[in-house]
Homo-oligomer: A and B are copies of this chain.
Amino acid sequence: MNPGTPNLAAPAAPPADLAARLKALADPARLAIVAFLREPQADCCSRGDGVCGCDLEGVLELSQPTVSHHMKVLVEAGLVHAERRGRWVYYELDTSALEALSEDLRRLGHVAPVLSRPTDRPGSTGKG
């Protein structure tokens, strides 16, 4: 079932996946993960180019399956990249994706510099 864009073409409707990306971050645990990915304090096997999952468990005080679940959510939202190296999986923050999300939020607050300005609205001659 693809609802598609509804009958009204919103002037500058938020991206369809914006809610999903926000939801991926709207959790204290995942927020803590992102904050840690930004400035990892190497503990067992993390390096400059990534943080391994085992380090996250210790920092977050969460079980391994829970951490794995949260990482999956973040990766599927495109906010974090995962790369397997041997036994470990190294996670890296996608700063550009985060910046894009920030920008989408900023656009929500301002009247968007509409990309293709149509003629103009047919006037709200509706019932007053």
- Is B22 in contact with A22, judged by CB distance below 8 angstroms? yes
Number of A residues contacting the other chain (C-beta, 8 Å)? 52
Q: With A8-B41, A121-B41 in contact, do A35 and B108 touch (Cβ < 8 Å)?
A: yes
Shortest Cβ gap from A47 to chain B (Å): 7
A83 at the interface (CB under 8 A from B): no
Q: With A8-B41, A47-B128, A61-B6 in contact, do A106 and B99 touch (Cβ < 8 Å)?
A: yes
- Is B106 in contact with A38, judged by CB distance below 8 angstroms? no
- Is B98 in contact with A8, judged by CB distance below 8 angstroms? no
Shortest Cβ gap from A14 to chain B (Å): 5
- Interface residues of chain A, those whose CB is within 8 Å of chain B, are 6, 8, 10-14, 18-19, 22-23, 25-28, 31-32, 34-36, 38-39, 41-48, 59, 61, 93, 95-96, 98-99, 101-103, 105-106, 108-112, 121, 124, 126-128
List 27 A-B pairs, Cβ < 8 Å. A8-B59, A10-B32, A10-B36, A10-B39, A13-B32, A13-B35, A14-B31, A14-B32, A14-B34, A18-B31, A19-B27, A19-B31, A22-B22, A22-B31, A23-B23, A25-B105, A26-B26, A38-B108, A38-B109, A38-B111, A39-B111, A41-B124, A41-B126, A44-B126, A44-B127, A47-B128, A102-B106
